[in-house]
Structure 1
């Protein structure tokens, strides 16, 4: 287990609303193509490809290696999977600048009923390296939160676009944390 109750972590959470129900939003988002939602920006690389996947991405124990547009990579392991409700994963073995800041990250998606739709809650919980918490909790945090919110907006657009009744108004269903 990467993170324990004794660790001083830095959680960063973003939220978005979709008109899809929790089960539909989960079904589309859980196996989403990472290259479509994690795009490079001026500060962070995007995901260029996913390699070395073991198992299907629908049960704890599966793992894969996202490769970034700058040539670096990370190991991603699915640690929890509750169909229709949420999933969690750990990111370890960063080969980019995050390796100097964090020992790893626990990510979690929750799909919360919201009328006929869903609020998607996505948290990245960083386990900072010794002496680096102030960087992650300080100047890094708002930059990463913006990157996450942009990726989540793209995820919601894909969810909305995958639904036959959608008319492409995903941007009107968003809410930031």
Structure 2
């Protein structure tokens, strides 16, 4: 059983972005959950992109699988899928960053939710940082707008991949 990184008493820093797609929720989720990380997580200064994924031995379709996203600056992180509700949401946690985040946060809980939105879907993505002692002000202050920009760009690329799949169908 996984030990969850964030508990009810933790003071975290959460950043949420959302975007709509014309694809219906089941199709959106089917494409989004196992999406190719290097395709959508590209560099957005000052943050690196994902260059590859190592050590993934299970499909990304149930709680439990682990993998190691590799960043194009040579750093990496441990990722574990902690929750998975077919067709609507999944959550994961990131720990053991080997880049600057290792000096700011104990880890991150990420969550994607896919909801009906007219004839399409609304994708809501939250990144919840668990700050290291004395670092919350950095994450909530100067770091947050830079990270939000990274998330907006990555989610826009996710939607491009989802829309491209709709065009092929």
Flag whether TM exceeds 0.5 (same fold). Answer: yes
Q: Does 1:4 align with 2:2?
A: no
2:96 to 70, 76, 93: 93
Deviation, 1:56, is 1.1
In the other structure, the counterpart of 2:136 is 133
SS in 2 for 1:163: helix
Deviation, 1:165, is 6.7
How do residues 162-173 of structure 1 correspond to structure 2 at under 5 angstroms? 162-164=165-167
Q: Does 1:66 align with 2:66?
A: no
SS in 1 for 2:10: coil
TM-score where L is the length of structure 1: 0.92
How do residues 23-42 of structure 1 correspond to structure 2 at under 5 angstroms? 23-42=26-45
Inter-partner Cα distance in structure 1 for 2:35 and 2:103: 28
Inter-partner Cα distance in structure 1 for 2:167 and 2:52: 28
Q: Give the ranges of 4+ consecutive aligned residues of structure 1 lying more than 4 Å apart after TM superposition.
A: none
Uncovered stretches (5+) of structure 2, i.e. residues with no partner = none
Deviations 1:21-48 (A, max 9, x none): 1110000010000000111122000000
TM-score where L is the length of structure 2: 0.96
In the other structure, the counterpart of 1:53 is 56
In the other structure, the counterpart of 2:157 is 154
In the other structure, the counterpart of 2:82 is 79
Inter-partner Cα distance in structure 2 for 1:134 and 1:42: 21
Deviations 1:109-134 (A, max 9, x none): 00011111100000000000000000
